[in-house]
Chains A and B, each alone.
Chain A
Amino acid sequence: MNLKYNENLLLLLFIFFFVVSWFLLPDYALNTVCLSFCNGLVILGLLLLMRLGLVSFGHGMYYCLGGYAVAMSYNFLNIKEALFLILISITVGFLISFALGFFVRRFRGIFFAMLNLALSMILFGIIVKSISLGSTDGFGIKEVYYFGQIIEGEKRLNIYSYSFIIILSGIMMSFVMKYLKSSSGKMLDAIKENEIRSAYLGIAVNRHIHKAYIFSGTLAALGGGLMVLLVGHITPEDTAYWTKSGEFVFVAILSGSLNVFAPLFGALFFEFIRSYALFYFPNTWQMIIGIILIIGIIYLPEGIGSIFKKRRN
C-alpha cells in the first residue's frame, strides 16, 4: 500500500470537501470555517515546533505581524490585491522569523516558550504605543480584489475570499506534509528524541530548529494576513496579546502533532465549540473549553490527530 498516495488524496478530498461546503453551509458557519483555517495555519506552524519538542507561547506575534503587514500595505501603500497583500504578509513573517531565529534557536523547553512570549509582548507594547499604527484600536481595511475580481458592496466573505483561504491553506498543508516526510523533516524527530545523539550523528541541530522556526513563523503570519482579509480589521489585543498566543498553544495541544490535518480539525473544533458555547453558555464557556481539554488529554493524549492515526503493523 502506498501511503504517500493516500495522504495526498486525503488532502485533496479535505480541500474539496470544504470548497463544496460553500454551497451547503449557512453564512455564519462558513465564517467560522474561514476563521478556523486562519487560526489553523498558526497551529500548523506550532505543529512544526512540537515535532521538535518545542512550544512557543508567543506565536500570536507572527499572527499579528502578518495581519499588520496586510492592513498597513492596504492603508499606506494602497495595495488592494489580496494575492499581493498575502505575499507581503508571508515575506514579513519570513524575514522576522529568520532574524529572530538566530536568537531563539539557542534555547529549549520553557526558555524557548517564554522567550517567544517576551518577544510578542514587546511587539504588543510597540503597537499600543504607536499612534500611527492605530494604537489599541488597530486598523481596518475596505474592499479587496481577488485576482482582479471584486464584488462591490458584497460581504467580505464571498466565494473568492472563501476559496482563497481554503485553497491557500491546502497548499500550505501540502508543503508541511512534504517537509515532514522529507529527510530534512525527519531530523526534527531525531532532535526531539535525542539532541545529544543528533549532534553526534552530525545533524546541524540549531540550523534545523531555525528552519522549522522560520517555516512556523511564516505560516502564522499567513494566518494573520488571511484573518485580516476575512475580518477586515486587526487590533493588537486580538493578535499579539498573550491570551491569543495561549489560545493557539491550547488548540495545538488539543490537536497534537501527528499529521497536518490535526491542526485544522483542532481549530475548527475549537472555533465551533467556542461560538456555540458563547451563544448558549455566555458566562461559562471557558469552563466548557477547559473540560474539553481535560477529556482530550485523558482520552486522546496524542491529540485529535490520533483519531486518524495509522496503526503500526
Chain B
Amino acid sequence: MLLDVKRLCKKFGSVSAAKDIDFSMAKNEVIGVIGSNGAGKTTFCNMITGYTKADSGQIFFNGKEITNLNVQEIKNIGIHRSFQIPQVFENLGVLENLIITDLVSNNNQNSFLEDAYTEKNFIKAINLLKKFSLESFKDKLVKELPQGARKVLDIIIAIIGKPEIILLDEPTSGISTNEKIVVMETIIKAIKKLNIAVIFIEHDMEIVEKFANRVVAFYNGQILGDGRPEEILKQKDVVKYIVGSSHA
C-alpha cells in the first residue's frame, strides 16, 4: 500500500477530530473525501502531512512509518498538499512563487552561488503557468490574483517536485460554480499525467462523482463510508448527514 493509516486519534479539548481512523490507499487512486464542516477532513490532512501530531495511531508511507516525521521531512519523502485557504507568498510575484518552489524541489535552497531569478527560471515558470491557463497573471503579485487563480497557484505549487501523493484541501472552494469543473479537469489531468495519487476534499458532490474513483465520507471524526462513489453517495447515513446537508 502507498499510504496506510492505523487507528488514528486526535482530540482538541473535548472535540474528537479523529476517532480510530483506519484508511489505506493504493497508487493511482483518486479519492474524494466528503463530510460536513467540522467533520475532521482538514485534521486528517494535517496529520498525514505532519502539521498536526496525532494523539495515537500510526501512519505508514510505502511501508515505512512516518507518524513522527515533521512537515519538511514528510514533504521530502513525497507527500505534498494544497490548502483550504491558499498558502502562497502573497507579496511576491506569481512567477517568483513558482521559481522558489522549483528551486527547493531541485535541492537548490542552499545555493549561494547561483542566482535565483534567472531568465531560464522565469521561462520555466511561465511554461508551467501556461499548462494551467494562468499565463495572463504572470506579471501579477499573488495578492492581486482573484481567489480562484490563487487557489490554482497553491495547487501548482503542491504539484511541483512530483510527489507520490497529493492532498488537495477543498481545491474548488472559492471558485465560481461554472468554472469549477474546468479548473478541476485541468488539475486532475496534470496530476494523473504525473502518476500522482490524489486525495481531495470536496463539498460539491457533482465534482466528487465526476473525478473520484473512490469516496471516503467523514462524520464527527469517523469514517462513515468508504467505497465506490456510486455506492457511498447513495448510502443512507451519508445522504442524511453529508450529501443532503451539502445541498441545503
Contacts and interface: CB of A to CB of B under 8 A. Distances in A.
A252 B141 CA distance: 26
A189 B99 CA distance: 12
**Secondary structure of the B contact surface, majority rule:** loop
A202 B163 CA distance: 12
Nearest to A208: B109
A203 B72 contact: yes
B176 interface: no
Interface string A147-183: 0000000000000000000000000000000110111
B88 A194 contact: yes
A201 interface: yes
Contact of A4 (B110, B115, B161): B115
A204 B104 CA distance: 10
Nearest to A2: B119
A305 to B, nearest CB: 16
Nearest to B154: A197
Contact of B115 (A182, A190, A205, A312): A182
Interface stretch (B55-63, B89-97, B128-136, B186-194): B89-97
A214 to B, nearest CB: 13
Given A186-B100, A189-B92, A194-B87, A181 B75 contact: no
B81 A183 contact: no
B81 A182 contact: no
A169 B141 CA distance: 33
Interface string B190-203: 00000000000000
Interface in B83-117: 87-93, 96, 99-101, 103-105, 108-117
A138 B216 CA distance: 71
Contacts of A184: 109-112
Interface residues on B, range: 35 or more
B154 to A, nearest CB: 8
B111 A182 contact: yes
A183 B92 CA distance: 15
Contacts of A179: 112
B230 interface: no
Contacts of A288: none
A187 interface: yes
A190 B101 CA distance: 9
Interface string B57-74: 000000000000011100
A186 B116 contact: yes
B114 A182 contact: yes
Contacts of B117: 181, 186
Contact of B105 (A181, A202, A312): A202
A203 B139 contact: no
Interface in A275-313: 312-313
**Secondary structure of the A contact surface, majority rule:** helix
A273 B121 CA distance: 44
A106 to B, nearest CB: 14
A212 to B, nearest CB: 12
B24 interface: no
Contact of B100 (A4, A190, A200, A204): A190
Contacts of A205: 72
B49 A200 contact: yes
A48 to B, nearest CB: 13
Contacts of A185: 112, 116
Contacts of B113: 182
A67 B143 CA distance: 44
A203 B49 contact: no
A66 B113 CA distance: 27
B115 A193 contact: no
A200 B111 contact: no
Contacts of A131: none
A3 to B, nearest CB: 9
Nearest to A205: B72
A204 B70 CA distance: 11
Q: What are the 10 tightest A-B residue pairs by CB atom distance, in nearest-first order? A: A193-B89, A197-B87, A186-B116, A183-B111, A202-B75, A183-B108, A199-B71, A183-B103, A183-B116, A201-B104
20 contacts: A4-B115, A181-B117, A182-B115, A183-B103, A184-B112, A186-B100, A186-B103, A187-B100, A189-B89, A189-B92, A190-B92, A193-B92, A196-B87, A197-B88, A197-B89, A199-B70, A199-B71, A200-B49, A200-B87, A201-B105
Given A189-B89, A190-B89, 8 more contacts: A179-B112, A181-B116, A183-B112, A187-B104, A200-B49, A200-B87, A208-B109, A312-B93
Interface of B: 49, 51, 70-72, 75-76, 80-81, 87-93, 96, 99-101, 103-105, 108-117, 139, 141, 157, 161
Interface of A: 4, 178-179, 181-187, 189-190, 193-194, 196-197, 199-205, 208, 312-313
